[in-house]
Structure 1
Amino acid sequence: MVMKKRVFQQIASKRLKTIILEQDSRLKSYIPKTVWYRDDQLLSMLDKYGTVFVKPDKGGGGVGIIRVKKGKRGLVECKSLKHHKIVPMDQVHSLIDTYLKPGHRYLIQQGIPLAEINGRPFDIRLMLQRIDKDWELTGMAAKLAAPGKIVTNFCKGGKPYTAKDAVIQVCTSSASQKMIELKKMAYCVANALSERFKGLRELGIDAGMDDFGNIWIFEVNTRPTYGMFRKLKNLQMYNKIRKNHKLII
């Protein structure tokens, strides 16, 4: 008997995934304003939000992301994983152009002031997998940004942290309800994307919280890594994800 091989689909474009999620009424409020990178859009977004992130449409690991922050006296701070410069507003376009790779498309995303733990911003990775028909939330952990970093990625020094403990520090009296909301949001994301792309089998949702406890979806990875779960004290989630991953691939 020949086993039928499962289709394992990936979606490279962040913009395409964002558009699909924005079209779902259940998820629209979770999505930060996101547009294609253009000079005029950068100025408009900076004026409206104060801080924005320029990120490549394709790629992961925090590579190529630039935080652009409006400062005082007409100055703008541009910070990436490798560079940190402050320039006058009329020089910001030419500076960012030196960071962008030719032939690659970029996005501008509304900057969200992330909640912090001990002065370190954090977001939450929600891992979903499906072996056959139904999605299962198999992992959920916070990632604390390494000191001085603009991203929380584990591969860039982010520190794994128990999700519930992180949420409790932001939403002391409503942590249980916020955890339920995060999980419900994750399943909505999985269902919305898999309605369009039937071959999706694994998703890594990066969701953040601001100081008011509002949830924001920053990115959805369709072939996420899961090594960070191995660094948690309780390995139950890691073992479950690893077991499912072997069955999926």
Structure 2
Amino acid sequence: MVTTWKKKAKKGKLPSKRAAAATTANKARYVSSKMGKTRALEAKASLRGYVPATKWLNAAVLQEMLSEHRMVYVKPNAGMCGDGVIRVEKALPENGASLRYTFQSGVRKKSFATFEGMYTALRKVIGKRRYLVQKGIQLLKYKGNRFDLRVMVQMTPAAKWETTGVIGRVAHPSKIVTNYHDGGKLKSVDTLLRRYMTANDRKLYVKRLEQLGRKAAKAVEARYKGVKEIGVDIAVDYEMKPWILEVNTSPDPYIFRKLKDKRVYAKIKRYAKAYGRL
């Protein structure tokens, strides 16, 4: 005779149906589609201006966006930690030189005399994965290396969105991505922005980022119910405008342990435990 769920639960072999349902309901939702999350942001008028132009990749779209922006990033629709991200550029002719195209994946950079040659090689790198193409943002630099910012936003135990941490990620000198797990270094926002802003302006800017993070969280939740945490990757250009590059619904909380203020990670951990992440 098959033992019922109720009997197993009484024997301590399984949680009760009520407890299991509560655990499932409390579990944070993961959303893999970068395009889906981008469209969620674009659906909010207050966020639309912070999202770089993003389209599905094909030859015509890539050629059009390179003509308009000169530099773009090609990304897999589903992927984490900067995996599969490629930087593509259209170089302007100088001193009679011919037009050329380049793309960099990892530390390897390749050059091509024609768009057709570049795109053929790009497709071989991409394979069958579905990719999107995004307007490239010229990132601010720290000691010669590009950096972006990660904004952590979480659902509190009181079911309110709160920005719980902001940290900077500096790219490895030879790479195009800033991810810590791909050779990047973690720095405080204050350290990275010191060259560009006064102390008071830095404080105000962080508050702006925190507000942007909360708006992004609400936008993603409106489309994907059950999301309880997001990591917002923000690029800052040389006019100090923040751009939302993408949103991660399973952000790494442990990078915040690198901050001197240990209260930041303590709160992140406490909230994550409340919704069953840690």
- The question of a shared fold, defined as TM-score above 0.5 by the shorter chain, is answered with yes
Corresponding residue for residue 248 of structure 1: 275
Q: Secondary structure at the match of 1:30?
A: coil
Corresponding residue for residue 194 of structure 1: 221
Paired residues for 1:200-239 under 5 Å: 200-239=227-266
Q: How far did 1:166 drift?
A: 2.0
Q: Distance in 1 between matches of 2:223 and 2:133?
A: 24
Counterpart AA for 2:218: N
How many aligned positions are there? 248
Corresponding residue for residue 79 of structure 2: 59
Corresponding residue for residue 129 of structure 1: 154
Corresponding residue for residue 188 of structure 2: 162
Counterpart AA for 1:151: V
Counterpart AA for 2:62: L
Conserved? CA contact 2:107–2:175, under 8 Å: no
Conserved? CA contact 1:126–1:206, under 8 Å: yes
2:176 maps to which of 143, 146, 150: 150
Q: How far did 1:82 drift?
A: 5.0
Deviation by residue 1:81-137 (Cα, 9 ceiling, x = unmatched): 1532111123111110111131x2100000000011111111110111114411121
Counterpart AA for 1:110: K
Q: Distance in 2 between matches of 1:116 and 1:158?
A: 13
Corresponding residue for residue 21 of structure 1: 41
Conserved? CA contact 2:101–2:113, under 8 Å: yes
Structure 1 unaligned blocks of 5 or more = none
Moved more, 41-50 or 6-15: 6-15
Q: Distance in 1 between matches of 2:121 and 2:156?
A: 46
Q: Distance in 2 between matches of 1:199 and 1:50?
A: 38
Conserved? CA contact 1:170–1:211, under 8 Å: no
Q: Distance in 2 between matches of 1:147 and 1:228?
A: 20
Question: Does residue 103 of structure 2 align to residue 81 of structure 1?
Answer: no
Q: Distance in 2 between matches of 1:171 and 1:34?
A: 29
Question: Does residue 197 of structure 2 align to residue 171 of structure 1?
Answer: yes
- TM-score by length of structure 1 reads 0.94
- TM-score by length of structure 2 reads 0.85
Q: How far did 1:47 drift?
A: 0.7
Q: How far did 1:141 drift?
A: 0.4
Q: How far did 1:205 drift?
A: 0.5
1:106 maps to which of 111, 115, 131: 131
Corresponding residue for residue 96 of structure 1: 122
Deviation by residue 1:122-157 (Cα, 9 ceiling, x = unmatched): 111011111441112111101111112100001011
Deviation by residue 1:164-220 (Cα, 9 ceiling, x = unmatched): 332332233732332221111111001111122220111101001011101000010
1:35 maps to which of 41, 44, 55: 55
Q: Distance in 1 between matches of 2:192 and 2:271?
A: 26
Residues 82/145 of structure 1: CA separation in 2 closer, same or farther (3 Å cut): closer
Q: Distance in 1 between matches of 2:37 and 2:202?
A: 28
User: Which protein is bigger by CA-based radius of gyration?
Assistant: 2
Q: Distance in 1 between matches of 2:39 and 2:202?
A: 29
Q: Distance in 2 between matches of 1:101 and 1:246?
A: 38
Conserved? CA contact 1:115–1:170, under 8 Å: no
Q: Secondary structure at the match of 2:175?
A: coil
Conserved? CA contact 1:194–1:200, under 8 Å: yes
